[in-house]
Amino acid sequence: MKRDGSMETPLIDARDQLAEVLDRYWGYSQFKPLQLEAMQCGITHTDSVVVLPTGGGKSLCFQAPAMCLDGVALVISPLISLMKDQVDSLRECGVPAAYVNSTLSLAQKKEVADQLRQGRVRLLYIAPERLMVDRTLAFLRTLNVSLIAIDEAHCISAWGHDFRPEYRELRILREHFPGVGIHAYTATATPQVRQDIAAQLGVEQPRYVVGSFERRNLIYKLMRRDQGLRQIRDVLDRHRDESGIVFCITRKEVETTTAALVEAGYKALPYHAGMDDAQRQQNQEAFMQEKVDTIVATIAFGMGIDKPNVRYVVHAGMPKSLENYQQESGRAGRDGLEAECVLIYSSQDFLTWQRIIEAAEVIPTGALEALQAMWQFCTSVVCRHRSLLEHFGQSLERSSCDACDVCLGELDLVEDPLTIGQKIASCVLRLNEQYGGDYTAKVLIGSGEAQISGRGHDRLSTFGILKSESKRTVRDWIEQLVGQEFLVKDGEYNVLKLTPVGRRLLKGEAVPQLLRPAKSTRSRRAAPVADSWEGVDRGLFEELRTLRRAEATLRNLPPYMIFDDATLRDMARRRPTTSAAFHEVRGVGEKKLRDFGDEFVELIRDYCERHTLPTDMAVD
């Protein structure tokens, strides 16, 4: 047994069987990192805890084994709004799947039960609340259950960022289904959460399959809020006619932001828990089917989509934890192509979340610590990918990620942060650590306000020592010093006090990193962008998108269920003109070849003739 409690027992080599299934149903010719190891756990009934990033192919880790084993795989998911899309997508690939939840009528539930008895379903999606009903458990025990997959497994742990008490009841699965492998899947779990998931499920010796949390295709950018709507629009303008999400903290912010975007001519809709179910569902479907480009939402939308071609995620306010940020920003670029993640924050966001957390009857375990870690992430000036990896106990092996505002050179660092930091810290001391950030900034810039002269603070040695800077700039530096733990906000009025690190700063023994807003967009091109478009004819790609939309409309499906963007780019790169060549395209399985091959090949052939392009290109 290894130190983390996982078994050393070797897994059988089911590579060939799994590879054949992967190619036949999903059209994939190779495994993503750690997929094979996770799939083999399913094949061998070896309990597992699988942590792979969003877009890392977690779902295939249980879907492919389910197609290799006899019987039906149970997939436990809290996402009722997502089940239909997941099942529809599987059926489009030729996989017999079904779901049972509160949206089905009694007749529909009976039909699913009949299909299960007849062995015509290989994957059954079900919510934990319904699964725990005695009658449901009794029925499922009459079936040949091949494996049990628990999606969004971080919901099991009180240390996770989305704890759900009903998930704790899943512990009885071992009792009801002895000998059946139990597999927990999540995209966000620290080592502590991983251990707690296993303990709460009662799986004593699981195999831990933990991938890298790095999402190389995501380009992270952070900026302090300044004319927030303009900052949001700048992102949308960079992604015209592409799908994206704007996250807001409150429902009111969702409504006002949506209204402002629509008035400015953008195609956007709102989504939050205060809307009625029908309207929420209608707006979500409009976004999924690409009738609108942008959904503006609270985090109620975060776990409710499986759309792979989201090209941008904007946080119009700071999330409450790095786990939340990892998951919400991870909604972008699930197809592996480049996507932009922009976080627009302010100190007010921190205070808003602090009030929400402290107002709860029971403060969630570790919630305030998680909020502080999120604030430190926002105010630091280090590689964003590196910071996220280190939070989850991993490290960046490269000197630069080439995919964040820090590494791309979009931030202007202050040339002498030590001197500026010392001036600010000294002012806090001379104010006897009794004033907040706003007042301190006014003293530093030499404000002529009566309250400052009335208190005699215009006679302090630190009065006006940063008079060449704007109040906004000095205020930002104060927040950066707080985020980097040189200063701390104390009490009801958030007065500034020096920390032990701040006193080391005064002695010149610790140096902060301070930045100004960038004066120019002098960034290098993000590494993932060029690679994913290499060899792709963009005109052909756009015509393929149009055909995809038409096919999706005919079938009343989201376009990505026909083919995702990565598949369309591969088509526009290979330019196949025969069925055999079309089958070689990434993401074209046997059923999709039958359903769509002729139409797409005809379009490709016609486009290449019109533009005198070579066809049937070899791709390494």
Q: Which of 33, 32, 29 is nearest to 19 (CA)?
A: 29
**Mean pLDDT across 280-295:** 92
pLDDT digits (tens, 9 = 90+) for 104-155: 899 999 999 999 999 999 999 998 888 888 999 999 999 999 999 999 888 8
Distances in Å between the Cα of 214 and the Cα atoms of 55, 56, 58, 184, 392 are 11, 10, 15, 20, 10
pLDDT digits (tens, 9 = 90+) for 435-470: 999 999 999 999 999 999 999 999 999 999 999 999
Whether the per-residue pLDDT at 13 is higher than 70: the answer is: no
Predicted pLDDT of residue 304 = 55
Indicate whether 231 and 379 sit together in one domain.
yes
pLDDT digits (tens, 9 = 90+) for 154-206: 888 765 545 566 777 888 999 999 999 999 998 877 788 888 899 989 888 89
Indicate whether 272 and 407 sit together in one domain.
yes
Residue with tokens 């005198």: 612
In a domain, 518, yes or no: no
Indicate whether 390 and 425 sit together in one domain.
no
Indicate whether 47 and 192 sit together in one domain.
yes
In a domain, 620, yes or no: no
Predicted pLDDT of residue 589 = 95
Indicate whether 184 and 321 sit together in one domain.
no
Among residues 370, 394, 411, which one ends one of the domains? 411
Predicted pLDDT of residue 11 = 53
Predicted pLDDT of residue 227 = 78
Predicted pLDDT of residue 531 = 61
Tokens at 146, concatenated:
């091949």
In a domain, 1, yes or no: no
pLDDT digits (tens, 9 = 90+) for 533-588: 889 999 999 999 999 999 999 999 899 999 999 999 999 999 999 999 999 999 99
Rounded Cα gap, residues 211 and 208, in angstroms: 10
Task: Report the CATH number that the domain containing residue 498 is assigned in CATH.
Answer: 1.10.10.10
Indicate whether 204 and 278 sit together in one domain.
no
Domains: count for the chain: 4
In a domain, 466, yes or no: yes
Rounded Cα gap, residues 517 and 388, in angstroms: 22
Indicate whether 379 and 455 sit together in one domain.
no
In a domain, 618, yes or no: no
Indicate whether 396 and 462 sit together in one domain.
no
Task: Report the CATH number that the domain containing residue 261 is assigned in CATH.
Answer: 3.40.50.300
Contact 378, 343 (CB under 8 A): yes
Indicate whether 96 and 168 sit together in one domain.
yes
Residue percentage of the chain with pLDDT more than 90? 63
Indicate whether 95 and 206 sit together in one domain.
yes
In a domain, 606, yes or no: yes
Contact 301, 251 (CB under 8 A): no
Among residues 392, 411, 430, which one ends one of the domains? 411
Predicted pLDDT of residue 5 = 35
Indicate whether 193 and 170 sit together in one domain.
yes
Among residues 157, 186, 210, which one ends one of the domains? 210
**Mean pLDDT across 265-294:** 92
Predicted pLDDT of residue 62 = 97
Rounded Cα gap, residues 472 and 476, in angstroms: 6
Indicate whether 174 and 71 sit together in one domain.
yes
Domain holding 559, by residue range, is 532-610
**Mean pLDDT across 263-289:** 92
In a domain, 8, yes or no: no
Predicted pLDDT of residue 476 = 84
In a domain, 615, yes or no: no
The H or E element spanning position 295 is strand 294-297
- How long, in residues, is the chain? 620
pLDDT digits (tens, 9 = 90+) for 476-529: 899 889 878 899 988 878 899 999 999 999 999 999 988 875 454 444 555 555
Task: Report the CATH number that the domain containing residue 572 is assigned in CATH.
Answer: 1.10.150.80
